[in-house]
Structure 1
Amino acid sequence: MSNTNDNFKILFSALDWGLGHTTRSIPVLKSFVEKGYDIFIACEPHSASEKILKREFPQAHFLPLRGYHIAYAKSPQLFAWKIVRQIPRIISSIKNERKQVAKWCDQYHFNMIISDNRYGFFNEKVKSIFITHQLQIIAPFSFLKKFIRRLNYNYINHFSECWIPDFESKNNLAGELSHPEKLPEIPVKYIGALSRLKKTEAEKKYDFLILLSGPEPQRTILENRFLQIKQRFTGKVLLVRGLPNEVNELASTNNFVVKNYFDADDLSEAIAQSEFVIARSGYSTVMDLFYLKKKAIFIPTPGQTEQEYLAETLMNKGFSYSFKQNEKDYYKKIGEAKDFLASNSTDFLSAF
């Protein structure tokens, strides 16, 4: 793809809060590549996001941009406090990325900017799109929810449009997160569920596919919980660690296979080969499993109110089963999940 002033140029970046913001934007970027547009991707050099996007878009131009580097507490009780302490640094990152985008706009003359949840990734002179499913951030009190939503909209309203990866109707995935009482002032467009995965037919190979993802140390904590009970599984299990940059692999057995990372094609096939998928209730994972019509067992990241809300909401709708990470007997909860999903998930999926 050539880089001339005649080409329509798009600048893109995603929040480095796990990999979900990166992966869910892949189908959006592919639609622009198919139109022949020049794609510029801003991300942290040598990061997992860069590795994934370079694999998906070898023709794209990559620009270095430091991530927010949000640190997470080991204890869920300290999760919110840990985030609050980092707010000054996050605000500084937002200001810095805004300055950097302005410099790039002068240099490359972009026609459009797309930001997946990076609040400073816009420019007043260029059409700037903000992608988010979380207009309403979950908080314990009504007055606090409204206050946080107002702060959220103060940033979102700097953009030209807001694209929401969910359905506008009452049959939706994100519930209150994407359908709050009040919308931002800028135009809002519901673009449906996004997934980079492919629907494929395959014979059953695994009883359970365990997909690990999200920030440390919680990713490793969950991984260790499953490794501790791997001998109890009677069927065949595939565990994907969600570590695209990891070189060393954990030992596998005939019935408990461990892989560091799967690209989109391998992951699509693995999901098709599995009867149940156990994963975090991050929204990108929710959209993937909904798109592939797969029975899901969610274990929300402790302290992440969004994941806890999604896990509870989707279980109430019958789409999935969920239990907390600190449950003592995972094997027992997984058995309960199988019984629950045998009679519930099909009805929800057929509503779309």
Structure 2
Amino acid sequence: MGHATRCIPIVNALLDNDFEPIIASDGQALELLKKEFPKLQSFELPSYNITYAKKANSFKLKLIKDSPHLLKTIKKEKKAVAALVGNEVVSGIISDNRFGVRHSNVPSVFITHQLRVLSGSTTWLSSKLHQKIISKFDECWVPDHIGTKNLSGDLGHTESYQSSLKYIGPLSRFKKLDLPIKYNLLVILSGPEPQRTLLEEKLMEELKAYQGNVCFVKGIIEPEKTKTISGNLTVYNFMTSIELEKALNESELVLGRSGYTSIMDYAKLEKKAFFIPTPGQFEQEYLAHKFNKEGIAPCCKQDDFKLHLLSEIDNYSGFRILNFEINYKKLFGLF
């Protein structure tokens, strides 16, 4: 979902620069993009069907077991893209971490903040494999600042790989708005199952004792939006970009995963946050510890979360934005 939402400002920029974007994705990500851009042409790509293990120490093993399916999906992606290029006049392809979404006859861009793919003792191997995939594209856009004051840290900055890189600055679909505070806490859930549901159940139980107003967004994209209110707790199954932008600006604190797209959003809106990384996901664990160490946002393991830990946010600075304007006209010059 994070890969889909961070593409929203790019789609809007393409429209502003007189391009006619075609949206391609699958599952909930595709449904979200179709809700955001109902007038745009869209089609479904083969699904990676990525799910996470229930236990953190099984995360890497599950990815290895799923790798044959991943390779088959990449081949299917290439066929789907070839068919699209054959039927449409396509001047460019922008792929956010879809390995097979490229074409030799069309300028193709890969978006990623992971030049280094953390996988524990096999980080060197997973990084090399990812860099090999990136090299098949004409350009690689890294959504981060190039200097030392950056958001992705070691993930998006490495001296060992510099091929066709463009640091385009953080991507966020949101704007900072001057709105009165409505919620003391905004909870935003996301990510593959079963970990999303496991965290939802844990937080629902913990928040029973919370005294302030809570907005709880489950992150489940369904045909119809639902809203339930129970005491000081307001629960949505999902929100559109406009609704979530408003909720974020109306909230004092944010609680959720430490996914990179969420981090870019919080930086843009200068929010104070508490992170619970997805168990076993090396990237989220790294980012959560990075911002904890830098005194920006506290974090804890999913099993260790207790309501009283939210008070730690007072001792952290929260995110601060580095002003940066993306020159989309120059960026789209490739096409």
Do the structures match in fold with TM over 0.5? yes
One-letter amino acid of the structure 2 residue matched with residue 265 of structure 1: I
Q: Look up the match of 1:349.
A: 320
Q: Look up the match of 1:334.
A: 310
Gaps spanning 5+ residues in structure 2: where?
A: 324-335
Q: Look up the match of 1:15.
A: none
Gaps spanning 5+ residues in structure 1: where?
A: 1-18
Q: Give, in whole Å, the separation in 2 of the partners of 1:123 and 1:248.
A: 37
| SS of structure 1 residue aligned to 2:21 | strand
- 4+ runs of 1 displaced by more than 6 Å? none
CA gap 1:290/1:350 in 2 versus in 1, 3 angstroms: closer
Q: 1:41 aligns with which of 18, 23, 30?
A: 23
CA gap 1:351/1:318 in 2 versus in 1, 3 angstroms: farther
Q: Deviations over 1:14-36 (max 9, x none)?
A: xxxxx000000110111111122
Q: Look up the match of 1:6.
A: none
1:262 aligns with 2:239: yes
Q: Deviations over 1:31-78 (max 9, x none)?
A: 11112211111223xx32222212222231112212211122111111
One-letter amino acid of the structure 1 residue matched with residue 307 of structure 2: Y
RMSD: 1.7
Partners of 2:51 and 2:194 within 8 A in 1: no
What's the offset of the Cα at 1:150? 1.4
Q: Give, in whole Å, the separation in 1 of the partners of 2:104 and 2:238.
A: 39
Q: 2:85 aligns with which of 97, 105, 109?
A: 105
Percent of aligned pairs with the same amino acid: 37
Q: Deviations over 1:209-256 (max 9, x none)?
A: 011111111111111111112221011111111112165857532311
Q: Look up the match of 1:169.
A: 147
1:176-191 pair list within 5 angstroms: 176-185=154-163, 187-191=164-168
| SS of structure 2 residue aligned to 1:320 | coil
Q: Look up the match of 1:16.
A: none
Q: Give, in whole Å, the separation in 1 of the partners of 2:80 and 2:321.
A: 46
One-letter amino acid of the structure 1 residue matched with residue 289 of structure 2: E
1:29 aligns with 2:6: no
Q: Give, in whole Å, the separation in 1 of the partners of 2:290 and 2:126.
A: 21
1:1-352 pair list within 5 angstroms: 19-44=1-26, 47-141=27-121, 144-185=122-163, 187-245=164-222, 251-327=228-304, 330-335=306-311, 337-341=312-316, 344-345=317-318, 349=320
Q: Deviations over 1:252-278 (max 9, x none)?
A: 323111111111111111111111000
TM-score, normalised to structure 1, is 0.88
One-letter amino acid of the structure 2 residue matched with residue 60 of structure 1: L
Q: Deviations over 1:60-118 (max 9, x none)?
A: 11122122111221111111111110001101111111122122212213110010001
Count of residues paired in the alignment:
323
Partners of 1:211 and 1:239 within 8 A in 2: yes
Q: Give, in whole Å, the separation in 2 of the partners of 1:117 and 1:140.
A: 20
Q: Give, in whole Å, the separation in 1 of the partners of 2:162 and 2:267.
A: 27
Q: Give, in whole Å, the separation in 1 of the partners of 2:47 and 2:116.
A: 23
